[in-house]
């Protein structure tokens, strides 16, 4: 099935069905101007086939911009495997990922998968065995993602709030897992004041005690009075209902797909809140995968991840006072794609 969403050239949705292996999946290839489509494989239940396609396409589009802005030689892609709600282990899981690997191999390298929600390095090894190109370094990308989010946050605090560093800046982190926990450490080391929440309340309380912050219930974190709200748990947390309740000046975090819809950025700006696009701030993970695939040194990788901060400062300058960083980022992304198409 071909879809045409906008002037980009290469949208394609591949639907995969292999009843013997229990596989129903969608591979969405967005714009491939800059290179093969790179994006993770997400496995979760979907209410309808259309919902699976829509999520794959939306996430693939974000990957196009993530790579374009991070100056990586990849297009945007994402795939989703429709889970039936039952845990899938052992031989059945292997069979499913073998079938998925066959579908990926048939794209002839146009789609490069990696891990995402509910898929693992072991699953990706099975996909690779079937002849598919797969990117997933054995090393955990999370510390690099956190480092990039920290660089983005620091730059936004400087560019938008006119504060030289995070000293005395109050940061509310939603979810202190692999990325959020490391982000909290970086913020604390920079003199930031932490408010933390996690569905695992003990995790948030222990980290808050260690770093000198405060833990609050998850129901309160988004509306806590703070300078920066940093979502680092789940998608689409900034909804039309949440916007009027926010008491922050910046939203800058790690969670993919933070905004619940295309109108939310404008609603935030109308309240004087600047949103740092998630795909700009959290690009440390994909930069890490690229660095490992290319054999970069850690020094080179660190430089590339820290450059996320410079990118955010550029976006702030381009957007102007009270301007949208989302619009600025999309303009940049499209310019990069246009330049790539002409190259």
Ligand X SMILES: NC(=O)c1ccc[n+]([C@@H]2O[C@H](COP(=O)([O-])OP(=O)(O)OC[C@H]3O[C@@H](n4cnc5c(N)ncnc54)[C@H](O)[C@@H]3O)[C@@H](O)[C@H]2O)c1
Annotated binding-site members: 175-180
Which residue ranges make up the annotated binding site for NAD(+)? 175-180
Tell me if 78 sits within 8 A of 56, measured CB to CB: yes
Tell me if 177 sits within 8 A of 234, measured CB to CB: no
- Residue 79 as a binder of ligand X (CB under 6 A): the answer is no
Q: Shortest distance, CB of residue 204 to ligand X, whole angstroms?
A: 8
Q: Which is nearer to ligand X, 103 or 185 (CB)?
A: 185
Q: Show the site string, 104-133: x = touches ligand X by CB under 6 A, - = not.
A: ------------------------------
Identify which range of 100-108, 129-137, 169-177, 302-310 contacts ligand X by CB under 6 A: 169-177
Identify which range of 29-37, 55-63, 230-238, 239-247 contacts ligand X by CB under 6 A: 230-238
Q: Which is nearer to ligand X, 197 or 328 (CB)?
A: 197
Q: Shortest distance, CB of residue 98 to ligand X, whole angstroms?
A: 26
- Residue 33 as a binder of ligand X (CB under 6 A): the answer is no
Q: Shortest distance, CB of residue 40 to ligand X, whole angstroms?
A: 9
Q: How far apart are CA 266 and CA 327, in angstroms?
A: 10
- The residue nearest ligand X at its CB is 177
Q: Show the site string, 313-332: x = touches ligand X by CB under 6 A, - = not.
A: --------------------
Q: What is the DSSP letter of 239?
A: -
- Residue 179 as a binder of ligand X (CB under 6 A): the answer is yes
Q: Shortest distance, CB of residue 22 to ligand X, whole angstroms?
A: 25
Judged on CB neighbours under 10 Å (0-12, 13-18, 19+), 13 is middle
List the one residue from 37, 39, 76, 180 that touches ligand X (CB under 6 A). Answer: 180
User: Of 258, 251, 253, 198, which Cα lies nearest the Cα of 226?
Assistant: 251
- Beta carbons within 8 Å of 149's beta carbon, 6+ residues apart: 179, 183, 230, 232, 252, 253, 254, 281, 282, 284
Q: Which is nearer to ligand X, 169 or 255 (CB)?
A: 255
Tell me if 44 sits within 8 A of 52, measured CB to CB: no
**Residues that are catalytic:** 78
**Residue located via tokens 């090894």:** 125
Q: Show the site string, 188-207: x = touches ligand X by CB under 6 A, - = not.
A: ---------xxxx--x----
Q: Show the site string, 266-305: x = touches ligand X by CB under 6 A, - = not.
A: ----------------x--x--------------------
Site for ligand X in 206-225 (CB under 6 A): 218
- Residue 96 as a binder of ligand X (CB under 6 A): the answer is no
Identify which range of 46-54, 98-106, 254-262, 331-339 contacts ligand X by CB under 6 A: 254-262
Q: Which two tokens stand for residue 289?
A: 């995968």
| Beta sheet of 228-231, edge-to-edge order | 214-215, 193-197, 170-174, 228-231, 250-251, 274-275
DSSP string covering 156-206, please? HHHHHH--SSSTT-EEEEE--SHHHHHHHHHHHHTTPEEEEE-SSHHHHHH
Cα torsion 205, 208, 213, 219: sign: negative
Cα torsion 145, 180, 58, 159: sign: negative
CA 78 to chain centre: 12
Q: Which is nearer to ligand X, 101 or 181 (CB)?
A: 181
- Residue 256 as a binder of ligand X (CB under 6 A): the answer is yes
Tell me if 85 sits within 8 A of 47, measured CB to CB: no
- Give residues in contact with ligand X (CB under 6 A): 141-142, 145, 174-180, 197-200, 203, 218, 232-234, 254-256, 282, 285
């Amino acid at each position: 099935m071909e879809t045409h969403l906008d002037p980009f050239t290469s949208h394609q949705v591949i639907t995969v069905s292999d009843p013997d292996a229990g596989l129903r999946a969608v591979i969405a290839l967005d714009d491939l101007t800059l290179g093969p489509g790179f994006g993770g494989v997400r496995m979760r239940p979907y209410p309808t086939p259309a919902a699976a396609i829509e999520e794959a396409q939306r996430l693939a589009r974000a990957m196009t911009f993530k790579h374009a802005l991070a100056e990586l030689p990849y297009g945007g892609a994402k795939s989703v495997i429709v889970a039936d709600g039952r845990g899938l282990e052992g031989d059945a899981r292997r069979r499913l990922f073998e079938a998925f690997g066959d579908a990926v191999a048939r794209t002839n390298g146009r789609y490069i998968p990696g891990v995402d929600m509910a898929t693992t390095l072991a699953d990706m090894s099975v996909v690779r065995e079937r002849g598919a190109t797969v990117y997933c370094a054995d090393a955990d990308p999370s510390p690099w993602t956190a480092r990039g989010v920290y660089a983005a946050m620091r730059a936004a605090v400087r560019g938008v709030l006119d504060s030289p560093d995070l000293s005395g800046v109050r940061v509310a982190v939603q979810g202190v897992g692999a990325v959020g926990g490391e982000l909290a450490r970086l913020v604390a080391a920079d003199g930031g004041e932490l408010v933390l929440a996690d569905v695992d309340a003990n995790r948030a309380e222990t980290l808050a005690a260690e770093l000198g912050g405060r833990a609050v219930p998850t129901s309160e974190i988004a509306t806590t009075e703070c300078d920066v709200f940093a979502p680092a748990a789940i998608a689409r947390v900034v909804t039309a209902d949440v916007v009027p309740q926010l008491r922050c000046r910046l939203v800058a975090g790690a969670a993919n797909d933070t905004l619940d819809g295309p109108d939310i950025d404008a609603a935030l700006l109308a309240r004087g809140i600047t949103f740092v696009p998630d795909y700009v701030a959290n690009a440390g993970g994909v930069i890490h995968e690229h660095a490992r695939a290319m054999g970069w040194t850690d020094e080179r990788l660190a430089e590339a991840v820290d450059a996320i901060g410079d990118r955010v400062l550029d976006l702030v300058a381009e957007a102007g006072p009270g301007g949208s960083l989302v619009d600025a980022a999309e303009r940049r992304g499209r310019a990069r794609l246009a330049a790539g198409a002409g190259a």
